[in-house]
Amino acid sequence: MSYIDGFVAAVPTDNKQQYLEHAQKAAAIFKEFGALKVVETWGDEVPDGEVTSFPMAVKAKSDERVVFSWIIWPSKQVRDDAWQKVMADSRMQPENNPMPFDGKRLIYGGFDLLLES
């Protein structure tokens, strides 16, 4: 059964191109280590909420956009093995692929696939 990693972050609008380049490098590495698909989205209609919302969750500032991303893996075991390799890969180190956003406000998690239609 597939396994999904999901991410939500706030990226400065001026860093859109840098974010895309960062994501392209990372996606190639994830796929090299077994990911089936990597999807990156740039917020278009992401409303503020009264109690909770994507912007509130990542403490998005007025000059930032919310990005919503996910990685599809063939299994949790492939994902677990890959993450160790990805984190050890020199191409993912900050000096080689710096994050163009505040990583402290990144939300992420791993999910079992419940429904795919």
Whether the Cβ atoms of residue 35 and residue 73 lie closer than 8 Å to each other: yes
- State the average pLDDT over residues 70-78: 98
pLDDT in tens, 75-93: 999 999 999 999 999 999 9
4: enclosing H helix or E strand: strand 3-12
All structural domains of the chain? 3-112 (3.30.70.100)
Residue 40 pLDDT more than 90?
Answer: yes
C-beta atoms surrounding 100 within 10 Å: 18
Can you state the percent helix, strand and coil of the chain, rounding each to 5? 35, 25, 35
User: Would you state the pLDDT for residue 1?
Assistant: 84
Mean pLDDT of the chain: 96
Both structure tokens of 24: 């392209």
Both structure tokens of 16: 């859109």
